[in-house]
Structure 1
Amino acid sequence: MSLSATQTKPLTKPSMHMLCHQAPVIPVLTIHDLGHAVPLAEALVAGGLPVLEVTIHTPAALAAIPLMARVPGVTIGAGSLLNSQHVNQAHQAGATFASSPGATRQVIDACKDLALPLLPGAASPTEITDLVNYGFDLIKLFPASAGGPAALRSLSAPFPKVHFIPTGGISQDDALDYLTLPNVACVGGSWVAPAQMIQEEHWGGIRKLAHQARLLGNGH
């Protein structure tokens, strides 16, 4: 059943738009070791990327969120939310926004009930249409690499009032191809915090990658 067929009051989320004005890239982070949480957040913020999304599918993720939230200047969200239990766990952990790879009415309603701003995911025009009818005008396009920048250019005509945060498969090499599109608010990516660098605690290298990503916004 489509979301539009069972609408409830749309979720208001002005802060989601504000987040994209803070930096052109939202790092999508996978935390396996709780000891990495704070220095990772510090490195990314120092590099100029203050808005972070922590995927919740590792045992350390929910415990990492409140630790990272204490880093000065950071804004922490929870990603990969699939159901209302995930939403509740993310909210209790202190996440200030939620992100989902796809969108279900269960996730949308749970976020609305908690007044937790949501970035819902979509992969097709049908899913985007459902979210527009539900009241969203900022949508995660996931996985972005499936259609690339060409798909986003094509989506601008049927969805002129929608802005997107393409996520999934984006790298430093092609991020600017997305960011120069008028319907792209910012991008999500994991390249600024590679798993090997995190494992090796190479915080200086991650800070440098964050700084390079931040500079992508100069022409955006």
Structure 2
Amino acid sequence: MRYYNQTNYPHVPYPTLTDLPELGRSDTTVRDAGCGLCASCMVVENMTGREFPLIDCLELSINVNANHSPGTDLTVLGPYIAERFDLDLVITDDPELLRAHLKKGYMAVACSAGDRPEEDYIGVFSHGGHFIAVVGIEEDGEHITVLDPSLMPDKYQEDGRRDKVIVNGNVLHTTMKVLAEDCRYREIKYYADGDFKKWLEQEEPDANKDRYFLFSPKASESR
């Protein structure tokens, strides 16, 4: 299975936060902010069998201004990826749509919301916002396979994560229940003060509620 880890690319520049010139950074790299790029490449390559090099995804993101956010805005980038690879794209906040999508053999990018200190909840896939690739589901419709672009040794041995994820090389095994809880929308008021919160506050109220990006072959091609 094709796998990209953003931590392998500290040498590849990826400027972000271009929406806010006073906060925009030119020194960020794929290691810092490339989870959305990596997750998108993994979904495309593993689902279609076609190559989508990380640098191609990065250049596309910059060209369409999907790097205007603290990382990658997949509501902007996703449609361009779908167009390039002749895919359909559904963007949703409904985990049941994701479940049905996976059961058809398709793949998706999911956005983890991270820690929720107001609920004493520790983020499973990240302590902050993070994109992951969801690449399979078992026959029971509950157990899923995930590729985490920031996987590091012992990441899933932390309190709050242990027993929720099984690590097998670069592949993670978890459940829809765990994923849905980890991707649940978090109100902006609960975020810690900082660049990310400032960016969220300038966005449309519903702009960040969609958590799942469902890619599939175009209907005419999947028959």
TM-score (norm 1): 0.32
Instruction: Specify which structure has the higher proportion of helix.
Output: 1
TM-score when normalising by structure 2: 0.31
